[in-house]
Amino acid sequence: DQQVKQNSPSLSVQEGRISILNCDYTNSMFDYFLWYKKYPAEGPTFLISISSIKDKNEDGRFTVFLNKSAKHLSLHIVPSQPGDSAVYFCAASPYNQGGKLIFGQGTELSVKP
């Protein structure tokens, strides 16, 4: 049972445009959400996170939006750069289980010059 879903396996965007990556979850006990960037054979690198008490969090070019009623979050990257090309994972943490993350399947982002 996939509790965290990223329905788009891949996304291609032109440099300078906005990249929007989406993530849906089913478990209402998730209270903390994170986005990670990953290259093959390397560990994930943290990008940005959001607590369930918020609906938006920004950090430079990265913004995460959380819609709790729809159980949906999204990552916006503006403007997109070729160096952003990687696999992006959405992850959710169940309430009071800090070291346990449930990951989506990932979306491969390709930013073309």
Partner 1 sequence: KAGVTQTPRYLIKTRGQQVTLSCSPISGHRSVSWYQQTPGQGLQFLFEYFSETQRNKGNFPGRFSGRQFSNSRSEMNVSTLELGDSALYLCASHRGSTNEKLFFGSGTQLSVL
Judged by the rule CB under 8 A, the positions of this chain that interact with partner 1 are 31-32, 34, 36, 41-46, 49, 51, 89, 91, 93, 95-106
Both structure tokens of 33: 């959400």
Residue 84 CB, nearest distance to partner 1 (Å)? 19
Quote the CA–CA distance of 37 and 47 in Å, as a whole number. Answer: 7
Residue 113 CB, nearest distance to partner 1 (Å)? 28
Residue 96 CB, nearest distance to partner 1 (Å)? 5
Maximal C-alpha separation, the chain: 42
**CA 9, 93, 45, 50 torsion: positive or negative?**
positive
On whether the CB atoms of residues 34 and 46 are closer than 8 A, the answer is yes
